[in-house]
Chain A
């Protein structure tokens, strides 16, 4: 089991009343509420925390979102670049590049290859379709996000693995000379991870034998996706997928005691409590009409409205003293075959001292007990 430290780099200074007035923390909330002097402090604080995670022996995960106070990491190659020269050991999982929303996939191939070379092969290249509210900032066509994702992916992998110029005249992108310098440090290319929460996405990921990452899904949902991945492997005659093929993102807080973790860990809920604008979250064609109808009827979706206790029961929140967290991670691994634990350990106004203490407890007391989980199982399989 590998563990990755993650923060969305929130901007926690906008009053709730302002968010309420605009009905959202994204896209429509005016950037006049963003003070760049405070942002400078935040960036440096968050990057320092990432560096500390590297010192503690954790791997790192970064993501990007656009036009939102929930995530100041708007350009993930920039935060990754800021970290590759200041860290020495950690793998950096970029999860990920929002492919349908990028104007030129070859540029993504170049960014990742360059980071991979500077870091001497410490990059994990995640590709994401982008949440619904990425549609408005990029203005990418919401009806074709899956098709654009797949074409961009095909183009990037070909750009990484073709040792000479080639021509690409596809449906969405036209490039007549693709010949990226540098090539990636890891050959043939960095590990590819894909996020998802649906049977369509898991099928595609399993067919490509990439690592599938579930974010904040309840146990039974994660388990059914993992089992779907396994079924695709069986159908195609691929080997039983090892835990390395599965990543899970949870909100994680380790305290000195269960009581303290239950109290301080609630700071992680900030992310789930942001205002969700009904119509921004339902761009046309993002999901098929029958699924969209369910969303209009208020059926389904991720359990953002769950209670703190409910989120823990579903595995979305892992909080407690080191022993409790070990037990929860072990259960997650055994039930859902997870080999990579992605840990959102900071959210909203959670102070750096608490975040660092939680990281320390995880690294020193939890990690040694769970480190070998996936490895042993994988060894048994092979």
Chain B
């Protein structure tokens, strides 16, 4: 595997001082990270960097990225990352959106796919599926880290070792403050409506690039049934589940995850999606 470590750089764009990890060579692959997550050059990124130039930004307000005073909604992130893609325009970029990053990726792709080649959504939040009294997305703001691990990992013991969460295990002061700032920024973008855009589901039909919806079979933050609704709403999207994985399959089953993503990303030239699913 190439690019065992990703280089951290800073990119100035749209008033954001953006922390950006890059590694590998090949066609560009943009990876948008999740919430309750400390963005870092994880083994799954190193594996993907064998075939792609992997770009892993920390969202504005997350990690070491700054937060402009006007950013307070998911639209701001969608337009911001469309601008980042425009700067990488040739060739079009593969986009891998993880959880919260999947929501951002979908908001981007419903607006404009001129610079998007293929789309992978992994255990994404962002749409409303059930009736008003049913939470589609776990309210992680009122549960402790142990309960969060229980819901987000197939094997919580593995999560304890691999997943840095505020309030869990040994963290440096910088890691804890970063995780809490990430949490604050998650609330900034997703407090109300809770981590979704009520209009997004009906606009997913605008997505006209090949899309893979990939889900951890044991994810109880957002369940596979919720994931299937995503796939049904995006023309031609494929839905694949990963066994023995929860909300963070790239941390829990990195090899199976990379295999599924790599197979989809490598498949032929971009094809027109089928008219109906």
| Interface residues of A, Cβ cutoff 8 Å to B | 28, 136, 139, 141-143, 277-280, 283-285, 289-290, 292-293, 296-297
Contacts and interface: CB of A to CB of B under 8 A. Distances in A.
A289 B144 contact: no
B167 A296 contact: yes
B181 A141 contact: no
Most chain A C-beta atoms within 10 Å of own C-beta, residue among B141, B183, B188: B141
15 contacts: A139-B192, A143-B184, A143-B187, A277-B142, A283-B141, A283-B187, A284-B141, A284-B180, A284-B183, A285-B183, A285-B187, A285-B188, A289-B180, A293-B176, A293-B180
A284 B186 contact: yes
Given A28-B142, A284-B141, A284-B183, 10 more contacts: A139-B192, A143-B184, A143-B187, A143-B191, A284-B184, A285-B184, A290-B177, A296-B166, A296-B176, A297-B176
Contacts of B184: 143, 284-285, 289, 292
Contacts of B167: 296
Interface string B114-156: 0000000000000000000000000001111000000000000
Given A141-B191, A143-B188, A285-B187, A296 B180 contact: yes
Contacts of A284: 141, 180, 183-184, 186-187
A296 B176 CA distance: 9
Interface residues of B, number: 19
A277 B141 CA distance: 12
A292 B180 contact: yes
Top 7 A-B pairs, shortest CB-CB distance: A284-B187, A285-B184, A289-B180, A289-B181, A284-B183, A292-B180, A284-B184
A293 B180 CA distance: 7
Nearest to A284: B187
B90 interface: no
Contacts, number: 49
A290 B173 CA distance: 9
Contact of A293 (B143, B144, B173, B187): B173
Interface in B159-199: 166-167, 173, 176-178, 180-181, 183-184, 186-188, 191-192
B177 A142 contact: no
Contacts of B191: 139, 141-143
Nearest to B193: A139
A43 B87 CA distance: 64
Nearest to B139: A136
Summarize B's interface: helix, strand, loop or mixed: helix
A294 B249 CA distance: 31
Contact of B187 (A141, A278, A297): A141
A172 to B, nearest CB: 11
Contacts of A279: 141-144
A280 B166 CA distance: 15
A82 B192 CA distance: 34
A278 B145 CA distance: 11
Contacts of A292: 180, 184
A290 B188 CA distance: 17
Contacts of A143: 184, 187-188, 191
A277 B142 CA distance: 9
A1 B117 CA distance: 72
B141 A293 contact: no
Contacts of B186: 284
A293 B177 contact: yes
Contacts of B166: 296
Question: Which of B144, B183, B187 has the most CB atoms of chain A within a 10 A radius of its CB?
Answer: B187
Contacts of A141: 187, 191-192
A292 B177 CA distance: 8
Contacts of A296: 166-167, 176, 180
A11 B101 CA distance: 44
A290 B166 CA distance: 12
Contacts of B183: 284-285
A289 B179 CA distance: 9
Contacts of A278: 144
Contacts of A136: 142
B70 to A, nearest CB: 10
A285 B184 CA distance: 5
Given A141-B191, A284-B184, A289 B142 contact: no
A279 B140 CA distance: 10
A71 to B, nearest CB: 20
A30 to B, nearest CB: 15
Contacts of A293: 173, 176-177, 180
A293 B184 CA distance: 12
B67 to A, nearest CB: 11
Nearest to B167: A296
Nearest to A280: B142
Contacts of B176: 293, 296-297
B87 to A, nearest CB: 29
B198 to A, nearest CB: 15
A133 B181 CA distance: 20
Contacts of B187: 141-143, 283-285
